[in-house]
């Protein structure tokens, strides 16, 4: 039985397979409409979500399966003190696969140790968000046609932004990636990622606070929200929240084929006037999340291709 806790649980060739399946789903959705008939997905969300939970649920419904679950800890027996391990042991009696979001780093890994069915990490604290990374990779594949030789700007809250952490792990396995880490001093990428991933793998990267200075060299600009829910001090959040606001003016010196990504939700780090720019790919990115999650569900449930 396979789980997806960390993006590196999948090999590069398995990610290629998932992307190929997602592209086939986009081209031929009717082939997949009964692939998960009689299968059930449980979405256990101990933290708020719009895209991840609803795209997982839409994914399972479009595969002909059913969904059950909860969208906040307060409506589950976690509010009475039930442990994550007991919760998944029980939900595993009702569902064939579980997608879980939890505020505590490592909670989905604990769940995977006790669950009778596959666990998908749908975001754990400020740690990882592997299915967002699969979404990002599918979007990069569709927009740029490659993963190699890209200059990737990661901008905003690199400290608490779990989507950035997972994306760095994923892209670190390709050739010729140059990371441009754009953040205020207080929100720099954690040192464990700098030392254990970037330095250890001898990857090319630079750190800066100046988005406009690096804009002309970027192939991808990955904007992120300052993660208010991870701050201990509201005053620090207010001081840092508007560190970067992408506007059309700031894009004047960007490449014509720049791909602007954002995992969403957006607060105000991208002006809405940017949405109409052909380089803005973040709503396409959100749509891609459903297709890649369909491909992931098929893989983890080991649904054979003759079933669709
Ligand atoms: N990108 C993302 O994880 O969005 P949600 O928090 O709405 O699921």
Distance in Å, CA 282 to ligand 1 centroid: 12
pLDDT one-digit tens code per residue, 199-243: 999 999 999 999 999 999 999 999 999 888 877 788 888 887 888
Distance in Å, CA 122 to ligand 1 centroid: 9
52 lines ligand 1 (CB under 6 A): yes
Instruction: Tell me, yes or no, if the pTM score tops 0.85.
Output: yes
265 lines ligand 1 (CB under 6 A): yes
285 lines ligand 1 (CB under 6 A): no
pLDDT one-digit tens code per residue, 67-76: 999 999 999 9
Both tokens assigned to 48:
């708020």
Task: Ligand 1, residue 53: give the atom nearest the CA.
Answer: 8
Tens-level pLDDT at each residue, the chain (308 residues) = 999 999 999 999 999 999 999 999 999 999 999 999 999 999 999 999 999 999 999 999 999 999 999 999 999 999 999 999 999 999 999 999 999 999 999 999 999 999 999 999 999 988 899 999 999 999 999 999 999 999 999 999 999 888 999 999 999 999 999 999 999 999 999 999 999 999 999 999 999 999 999 999 999 999 999 888 877 788 888 887 888 999 999 999 999 999 999 999 999 999 999 999 999 999 999 999 999 999 999 999 999 877 77
């Amino acid at each position: 039985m396979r789980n997806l806790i960390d993006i590196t649980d999948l090999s590069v060739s398995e990610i290629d397979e998932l992307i190929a399946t997602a592209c086939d789903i986009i081209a031929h959705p009717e082939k997949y409409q009964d692939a998960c008939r009689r299968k059930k997905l449980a979405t256990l969300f101990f933290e708020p979500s719009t895209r991840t939970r609803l795209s997982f649920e839409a994914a399972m419904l479009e595969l002909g399966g059913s969904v059950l679950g909860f969208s906040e800890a307060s409506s589950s027996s976690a509010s009475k003190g039930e442990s994550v391990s007991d919760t998944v042991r029980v939900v595993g009696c009702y569902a064939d696969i579980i997608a879980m979001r939890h505020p505590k780093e490592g909670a989905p890994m604990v769940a995977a140790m006790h669950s009778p069915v596959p666990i998908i990490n749908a975001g754990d604290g400020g740690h990882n968000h592997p299915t967002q990374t699969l979404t990002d990779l599918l979007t990069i594949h569709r927009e740029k046609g490659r993963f190699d030789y890209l200059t990737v700007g990661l901008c905003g809250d690199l400290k608490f932004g779990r989507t950035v952490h997972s994306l760095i792990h994923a892209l670190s396995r390709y050739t010729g990636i140059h990371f441009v880490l754009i953040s205020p001093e207080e929100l720099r990428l954690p040192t464990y990622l700098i030392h254990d991933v970037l330095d250890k793998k001898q990857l090319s990267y630079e750190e800066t606070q100046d988005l406009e200075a690096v804009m002309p060299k970027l192939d991808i600009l990955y904007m992120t929200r300052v993660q208010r829910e991870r701050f201990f001090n509201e005053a620090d959040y207010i001081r840092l929240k508007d560190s970067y606001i992408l506007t059309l003016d700031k894009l004047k010196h960007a490449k014509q084929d720049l791909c602007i990504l954002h995992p969403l939700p957006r607060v105000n780090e991208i002006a809405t006037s940017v949405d109409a720019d052909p380089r803005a790919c973040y709503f396409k990115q959100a749509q891609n999340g459903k297709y890649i999650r369909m491909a992931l569900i098929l893989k983890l449930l080991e649904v054979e291709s003759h079933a669709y």
